[in-house]
Amino acid sequence: MSDEAARQLEDFLQRVPYVRFLGMHAELSGDEMTAVLPFAPHLVGNTMIPALHGGVIGAFLEATALAQLSVTQGSAKVHKTIDVTIEYLRPGRAMTTYARAALRKVGRRIANVHVEAWQEARDTPIAFLRGHFLLSSN
């Protein structure tokens, strides 16, 4: 991706306070963006396992979708979430989590986005998100 895409991504990550609270960042490689959620003790929901809080995983997935949209759509505004469905497949352990978003359909006003999150191996995801987002005009 271009330097402009990297700038838009960094602007998005700095603009959203909850992204900063999570400690999330993203890496661009070619035309792919990988979101990274480093482990931090304040993200744990179940101290017995220990496992990441489900809300943290859901927010990470949603932020990944919005970050991908900000890079590909080039809008200065943060797009609005219409609805999301999250499938929790296994506990998110106390370790770094990764996610990638795929834009399935981008229309004039609405985008359909799928996101997958994993920890050690991409072929064993911990959660999926399927969502619709209202595209902002500049």
Position 131 confidence tier, pLDDT thresholds 50, 70, 90: very high
Contact indicator for 63, 35 with CB cutoff of 8 Å: yes
pLDDT tops 90 at residue 78: no
Name the helix (H) or strand (E) containing 95: none
- Segments in 16-129 forming alpha helices (H): 17-22, 54-73
Once rounded to an integer, what is the mean pLDDT over residues 103-132? 96
pLDDT, position 76: 66
pLDDT, position 138: 59
Q: Which of 78, 84, 77, 33 is nearest to 57 (CA)?
A: 84
Cβ atoms within 10 A of the Cβ of 137, count? 8
Fold designation for 3-134: Thiol Ester Dehydrase; Chain A (3.10.129)
pLDDT tops 90 at residue 2: no
Once rounded to an integer, what is the mean pLDDT over residues 60-75? 90
Beta partners for residue 81, in sequence order = 133
pLDDT, position 82: 96
Please give the share of the chain, as a percent, with pLDDT higher than 90. 73
Q: How far apart are CA 59 and CA 70, in angstroms?
A: 16
Q: What is the DSSP string of 115-137?
A: EEEESS-TTSEEEEEEEEEEPPP
Q: Which of 88, 75, 95 is nearest to 136 (CA)?
A: 75
pLDDT tops 60 at residue 1: no
Contact indicator for 95, 120 with CB cutoff of 8 Å: yes
Q: How far apart are CA 60 and CA 107, in angstroms?
A: 24
